[in-house]
Structure 1
Amino acid sequence: MKYFKLIVLLLTISQSLLGQTRWEASSQRQGIQVEQWTVHDVVYTLKKMPTNPFDKNVTATTIHGADTLQIPLFYNGGKEWILRFSGKEPGTYGYTLSGDLPELRGRKGSFEVTKNTKADRHGGVVVKKEDPKHFYYEDGTPYFNLAFECDWLFALDHGQKKLSKTDQLLSTVAQNGFKQVVMNVYSYDVSWKKDSLLAQHPEHEYGGREDIFPFLGSNKNPDFSALNVAFFQHLDRTMASLHDKELVSHLMIYVWNKMVNWPDMDTHADNLYYDYVIKRYQAYPNIMWDVSKEALYYGRATAEYISERIQRARKLDAYNRLISVHSYSFCSKHPDEVDFISSQDWSHPLYQKMLDAGKRFPNKPIFNIEHGGYEASPYEVFTGDYTDAEVCLRRNYMCLFAGSYTTYYWQGASWNAIIHNPFEQPASFPKPKFEYFAHMSALFKRYPFANFQANLGKNSSGYNLTDPKNGITMMYMPKENHSVMLLFLDLKEAPGHTMQWFNTLTGAFTPEEPFVRAKAEISPWRGQADTILIVKYGPS
């Protein structure tokens, strides 16, 4: 990602470092030419250091046509304050600074935003009024919210000059069709018993580190008087890597069951941390906010506290990024406060539960963020209820065919154990089935998920997604099905109607051929793989 830093000093351009370009400019007003949906830092260095710098509020009132953004600056250590900016639309964005710092008050600047030229970049994720059940990018392209859980991503390469492990893992994630990483700002450790094999591979253990902490001090001995800027500077690099690879960060700001020594709720330190996260990361187009993982579990937070956190984020976030809460209990009782409904549901009738959620909230995207399927890895980290790769895959399809979005968990990356290079491990280490999700993503690239609706009344013994506009029906058939009755399709065998099969394990498509009901009712991979029958209707 082009990631610019403008220091208001001299009119020279210095060397690039780690994907960042450092601009040194005179104090005269000068427009900075930037590209749409890229992230840029304007760094102001003060002559005099104020007391309690984290408590100082500075805002850039930014005007673009008829729109005005109130973008908060944030303290970056030393004597630096940063205005972090990204432009949603081409045009001129002029800004004026105001706030608590006399040296910055009244300073002006501008950005000249040019049209995006990166073919796979489409802007931030939004919900459209005309189709509130689905996610879209800002340019109108459907966003297929297929997520990959990696809670400790922030810890990869911490303290290192290069993000070699981070980049390798995220490249692998992106290459296998995932569009989002569900991650924590910070987690400390897990409370459950750890696999003894993990102790033999400390290179994969990221829990319990005392050298990583968002405040001063450490998790065992915290100093809540100030934040650890170096922690967030590293997280910046992780965010930039995600953005480079067009992966959305589903950023969970809190987590209650990972042994974090948090400050008390709604104290100065708590608010300082929360506000800083919103200020520092809102400019990234690839951000989605999540107040807390399992927000109302473990007896810590109240619904009133979570509601206040949502309001707080919306007040600070000039870019209006989407926000939700990892709690169906909260979302279902406060649907007007969140932009999409998050669900954690491990139940056996998962399809029906997700279908019910969609019916209950017809004007919100539904996102199953945790369905109890945690694919096995070399280490037994947390098994949940399902660990078999094919069963976990099926549960993801159950969510999709109920019209909701979904998340994949692999025990080798979801929590404190992270194998950043799983396909380079010894033969004795079982490999994850990431390719299953590459095939899933390819299917819904060919047939956009946003075009389809769950169709319970025409499921037969499988699951039905129907695209009424383009005349396409997809029937998901578990491999155990002997056959699936398709009388409800009400199709006459005619040359205009076609059929083909998709193998969920290999990604193979059979050739498209005329629809023949008797043939369509029996999967060619019966007993071998779950399959999807794709029927296209000919002219009526």
Structure 2
Amino acid sequence: MNIKSTIFLSLLLCITTCFSQIKKWENPKKNKTIETTQWQVNDIIYKVKKSVDDPLNQEVFAIVTGNDGIQKIPVFYNGDKKWIFRYSGNTIGERTYVLQSKIKELNGKKGKILVTENQKKNRHGGVVLKADNPQHFFYQDGSHYFNLAFECDWLFALDYGQKEIPKTKHLLSKVTENGFNQIVMNVYSHDVKWQKDKKLANHPEHEYGGREDIFPFLGSNSKPDFSTLNIEFFQHFDKVIAEMHDQEIVSHLMIYVWNKLVSWPDMQSDADNLYYDYVVKRYQAFPNIIWDVSKEALFYGRATEEYIAERIERTRKIDAYNRLVSVHDFGFCKRNPDKVDFISMQNWQHMLYKNMIDARKQFPKKPIFNIEHGGYEKSPYVVFPGAYTDAEACLRRNYMCLFAGGYTTYYWQGTSWNVVIHNPFEQPEGFIKPKFEYFKHLKTLFTDYNFQNFKPIQWFNGNGYNLTNEKDGVVMLFVPKENNWVGVVEGLKKKFDFSEAKEVWFNTLTGEYTEEESFDKKAYNFWKKRPWHLEADAIRIVKNLKLKN
């Protein structure tokens, strides 16, 4: 082996070690200092000698003391007489911890943790809110989190039962390559209740619904045993969440789902509380977690508003990391805005833009996130067609959410529900492939022009949709491809000096910018041909504007 190869392998080993998904520390000695970086997840594992009765219902906590205060972090049981204190640190500095428990072998275990500065370029910590810009999401390091979500309810089922998770890794790599940074997902779903496409019979490798070998409790979904949890289910789920963290993808984790034929235990039963509490205990240390009590929480007559409110309180009591919490039900969020950290919407209406704008006005101190807008891009199988399946129509609805100042979610029928095609771009000729690249371009646009600094101004819309950044002097207008022209001059006159203004156009399908040119100051210039008319929705961007005194 030559010296270059040796250096390369050494660097690769260093990268793998530094950024391993979960660092494991087995039975650390009393004086051992656990060294980690910011936002690295660590499993500090203690194995006891004696069996413990009903271990999942035992209370064990790690009391962590450091420069940022005291945390009381739940320690969870992982089978085989092993207990895990899962920890990640937000700030640099030293901590000490001590375990508290009625289990003698655990009680009083002590240790030290040293958290050093994050070294991973694209790692920024958990998702938080900021008081000075309350309608946007941010990371713990202060940078903006452009919440661009991708629904994949059955992600937990890919590679289930396997030691490695190659399918999961591949799909996640395609998600992140194309600008998505969040997956809306269920802890567990069983099957869909609607009709399935007959073509699936010829492709069982794409069907994940109805599997009886996957269940978070003992037994199976058809013959559940609610006496305790299936630890192996959660050990596999660890791999999924850890891989998402490694690829810097947030898990928008819906703890329940009511319409996917799941055999849930009765609400507020011992089994129900055990499941819910265990999920929060086990995954709170991951910085890439956002909690959502239930998908479509008050649909289907399953849950009550009081039950959902109690689950939120339960989450906040158990979660020592204060991860964001919401509920996939606009009615609940609207009636209980103080209970949730952001407003979750599900709105399919043709008037989507107006509904998003209205919600933004109604809740000026909360981000607005439309989790389902009725756009479900077509795939080789008709899984759930919703209201819109055309790729461009679905893309437009995502832009409508964004130009209303909210956040949005993309659905492809080949990954969103029981059908999961983990490698869509490796399928044969003629196979309908998703237009993920449209969202890569969308993400690029709002990276080039910082989304968090823009606000929608309705009167400025003309015949498009407006976002305005007054501080930096930039105005964007979303222009549907049918529009000949979108007016902006009269609006600019009210606010800006545009004597030095420049403009470019952005193609939403290709990500192409036109060459920058001097802004056309004519009030009526619809005789001038706009770029990509009838070919693609476009965005007119006017910059170098100066606010009038």
SS at 1:237 equivalent: helix
Residue matched to 1:391: 393
Distance in 2 between residues matched to 1:31 and 1:18, nearest whole Å: 18
In the other structure, the counterpart of 1:218 is: 220
- The residue aligned with 2:232 is 230
**Are the equivalent residues in 2 in contact too, given 1:493–1:516 (CA < 8 A)?**
no
1:63 CA displacement: 0.8
Aligned residues of 2:21 and 2:40 also touching (Cα < 8 A)? no
Give yes or no for the alignment of 1:300 onto 2:307.
no
Question: Structure 1: how far apart are the matches of 2:459 and 2:253?
Answer: 37
Which letter maps to 2:519? F
Give the drift of 1:280. Answer: 0.2
Q: What amino acid does structure 1 have at the position aligned with 2:150?
A: F
**Deviation string for 1:263-295 (max 9, x for gaps)?**
000000000000000000000000000000000
Shift of 1:199: 1.4
Unpaired runs of 5+ in structure 1?
Answer: 1-14
Instruction: Note the alpha carbon deviations across 1:447-477, whole angstroms, 9 max, x for none.
Output: 1110100110100110000001101000000
Residues 523 and 531 of structure 1 are in contact (CA less than 8 Å); yes or no, is this contact kept in structure 2? no
8 Å CA contact 2:342–2:366 kept in 1: the answer is: yes
Distance in structure 2 (CA, Å) of the matches to 1:337 and 1:23:
37
Matches within 5 A, 1:324-363: 324-363=326-365
The counterpart of 1:502, out of the listed 502, 506, 527, is: 506
CA distance in 2: counterparts of 1:393 and 1:77, whole angstroms = 45
Cα displacement (A) at 1:21: 5.0
- The residue number in structure 1 matching 2:531 is 524
Where in structure 2 are the equivalents of 1:11-26 lying within 5 Å?
22-24=24-26
For residues 270 and 77 of structure 2, what CA distance do their matches in structure 1 show?
Answer: 16
Q: Say if 2:417 is the partner of 1:410.
A: no
Structure 2 residue 54 is matched with structure 1 residue 52: yes
- Alignment length, in residue pairs? 526
In 2, Cα distance between equivalents of 1:150 and 1:444:
23
Q: Shift in Å at residue 482 of structure 1?
A: 1.7
After TM superposition, give the deviation of residue 488 of structure 1 in Å: 2.5
Selected match of 1:427 from 414, 426, 429: 429
Q: Indicate conservation of the 8 Å contact 1:213/1:228, yes or no.
A: yes
User: 1:490: Cα distance to partner?
Assistant: 3.2
- The amino acid of 2:370's aligned partner reads N
1:79-138 alpha-carbon deviations (Å, 9 max, x no partner): 001000000001012111112312111111121000001010000000001111000000
Worse-superposed segment, 520-529 or 458-467: 520-529
Does the aligned pair in 1 maintain the 2:151–2:411 contact within 8 Å?
yes
CA 1:456–1:371: 2 relative to 1, 3 Å: same
Matches within 5 A, 1:140-289: 140-289=142-291
How far apart are residue 25 of structure 1 and its match? 5.6
Scaled by the length of structure 1, the TM-score of the pair is 0.95
Residue aligning to 1:113: 115
Aligned-residue offset at 1:247: 0.4
CA distance in 1, matches of 2:533, 2:400: 18
Query: 1:360, CA displacement in angstroms?
Result: 0.4
What's the offset of the Cα at 1:28?
2.4
Mark the CA change 1:417 to 1:331 in structure 2 (over 3 Å): closer, same or farther.
same
- CA change 1:494–1:305 in 2 (3 A) is closer
Counterparts of 2:525 and 2:154 in 1: how far apart (Å)?
45
Moved more, 529-538 or 416-425: 529-538
Q: Give the 3-state SS of the residue equivalent to 1:225 in structure 2.
A: strand
1:169-215 residue CA offsets vs partner (Å, 9 max, x unmatched): 00000000001000000000000000011111000000000000000
User: 8 Å contact 2:297–2:329 — kept in the other structure?
Assistant: yes
What is the CA distance between 1:24 and its match in structure 2?
4.6
After superposition, the CA RMSD in angstroms is 1.7
Deviation at 1:496, TM superposition (A): 1.4
How many angstroms apart in 2 are the aligned matches of 1:503 and 1:19? 37
Tell me the distance in 1 between the aligned counterparts of 2:92 and 2:76. Answer: 25
Q: Are the equivalent residues in 2 in contact too, given 1:520–1:533 (CA < 8 A)?
A: no
Say whether the 8 Å CA contact 1:494–1:514 is kept in structure 2: no
The superposition leaves residues 278-331 of structure 1 with CA deviations (integer Å, 9 ceiling, x where unpaired) of 000000000000000000000000000000000000000000000000000100
1:395 maps to amino acid: R
- Per the alignment, residue 542 of structure 2 pairs with 535
Letter aligned with residue 537 of structure 2: D
TM-score, with structure 2 as normaliser: 0.93
CA distance in 2, matches of 1:94, 1:62: 6
- Partner deviation per Cα, 1:398-454 (whole Å, 9 max, x = no partner): 000000000000000000000000000111211100000000000001111101001
Alpha-carbon offset, residue 493 of structure 1: 9.6
- CA–CA distance in 1 between the matches of 2:23 and 2:258? 38
Question: How big is each residue's C-alpha offset from its partner over 1:357-415, in whole Å with a ceiling of 9 and x where there is no partner?
Answer: 00000000000000000000000000110000000000000000000000000000000
What is the CA-CA distance between 1:511 and the residue it aligns to? 1.2
Aligned mates of 2:33, 2:413 — CA distance in 1: 48
Residue deviations 1:210-255, cap 9 Å, x none? Answer: 0000000000000000100000000000011100110000000000
Structure 2 vs 1, CA of residues 435 and 104 (structure 1 numbering), >3 Å: closer, same or farther? same
Shift of 1:161: 1.7
Change (3 A) 1:443 1:106: same
The amino acid across from 1:424 in the alignment is E
- Aligned partners of 1:18 and 1:367: how far apart in 2? 31
The 3-state SS of whatever aligns with 1:490 is: helix
Q: 1:288 to 1:493 in 2, by over 3 A?
A: closer
Letter in 2 for 1:401: F
Find the aligned partners of 1:453 and 1:17 in 2 and give their Cα distance. 37
> Which secondary structure state, in structure 1, belongs to the residue aligned with residue 136 of structure 2?
strand
Distance change in 2, residues 1:23/1:499 (3 Å): same
- How far, CA to CA, are the matches of 2:45 and 2:302 in structure 1? 38
Q: Identify the residue that residue 128 of structure 1 maps to in structure 2.
A: 130
**Letter aligned with residue 29 of structure 1:** N
CA distance 1:284–1:493, change in 2 (3 Å)? closer
Q: Secondary structure of the equivalent of 1:454?
A: coil
Report what 2:92 is aligned to: 90
CA separation in 2, counterparts of 1:154 and 1:130? Answer: 37
Mark the runs of 5 or more structure 2 residues left unpaired by the alignment: 1-16
The answer (yes or no) to whether the contact 2:157–2:214 under 8 Å persists in 1 is: yes
Find the residue that maps to 1:329 and give its secondary structure: helix
Percentage of pairs with the same residue: 59
Matched to 2:191, the amino acid is: D
Match of 2:14 in 1: none
> Which region of structure 1 is more displaced relative to structure 2, 44-53 or 61-70?
61-70
